[in-house]
Structure formats: C-alpha cells, structure tokens
Homo-oligomer: A and B are copies of this chain.
Amino acid sequence: MARAATTSDAFNAIAEPRRREILVYLAVRERPVGDIVTALGFEQPSVSKHLRVLRKVGLVHMRCQGRQKLYRTNAEAIRPLHEWAGTFERYWQHQLQRIKERAESTIKNARPISNPKEKS
C-alpha cells in the first residue's frame, strides 16, 4: 500500500507546507482564490487543487459570490490536531525536568570526558 491520500484526514492534509500557508492566510477572513494566488505567489491551478484537498477534509469552507468563490479556514477542524498534540504536553514537561536535572548533576560530577577510541 502506498501512502494514505492527503484527503484521508486533516493530518495528511496539513502535511503539505503550502496548504498550511493557505490555512493561515484564510484564517483571518474569507478570500477569493485570486487573493491567495497573489498573496502567496503560487500558481492558480495549484491553489485550486490545494483548496480542493482542504475542502474534502473540512479544513476550509467555501461560498460562491458572483464569479468568485470565497474560502475561509474552518478553525474548528484544526482543533483535533491541537488536542492530539496536546496529549503529549505532560511528557514534554517531564522531559524538560529530566534534562534540567541531568544538566545539574553533570555540572556537579564534572570529570574528564572519556575517549571511546582508547584501546588500552
């Protein structure tokens, strides 16, 4: 099996850097596709394709207004990612603590660095 589709879920969708840029850009307020093209400097077809992926996983909303389509980031859809990453928060706190402790003990018991290459 090859890699999962970018449209399979939000995790896959945000793996692409340009899609993350688009999400940031569209977070403030809705914008037509042309604005994204101008602001971020990507090719228009590329933007449309990325928007399609983002839409399929619900990361952006769209509404039509005349001949333009207005897109906006659906911040709610990013929440699960935030929460998933947040479950590790307690661990990185512990790790910082451990690193700190190790650093302190290293300073206290300072001794010459042993050379692993010394044969005898």
Chain B residues with CB under 8 Å of A11's CB are 14-15, 17, 20
Chain B residues with CB under 8 Å of A95's CB are 74-76
A74 to B65: give the CA distance in the assembly, Å.
47
> Does residue A92 face the partner (Cβ distance < 8 Å to B)?
yes
Among B15, B75, B85, B117, contact of A91 (Cβ-Cβ < 8 Å): B75
Among B6, B20, B92, contact of A75 (Cβ-Cβ < 8 Å): B92
Count of A residues near B, CB < 8 Å? Answer: 37
Q: Which residue of B lies closest to A85 (CB)?
A: B82
A residues sitting closer than 8 Å to B (CB atoms) are 3-4, 6, 11-12, 14-17, 20, 23-24, 27-28, 65-66, 73-76, 78-79, 81-82, 84-89, 91-92, 94-96, 116-117
Starting from the known contacts A78-B88, A85-B85, 14 additional A-B residue pairs (CB-CB under 8 Å) come to A3-B3, A3-B15, A4-B16, A12-B15, A20-B84, A23-B88, A28-B91, A65-B116, A73-B88, A75-B89, A75-B94, A76-B96, A79-B85, A79-B88
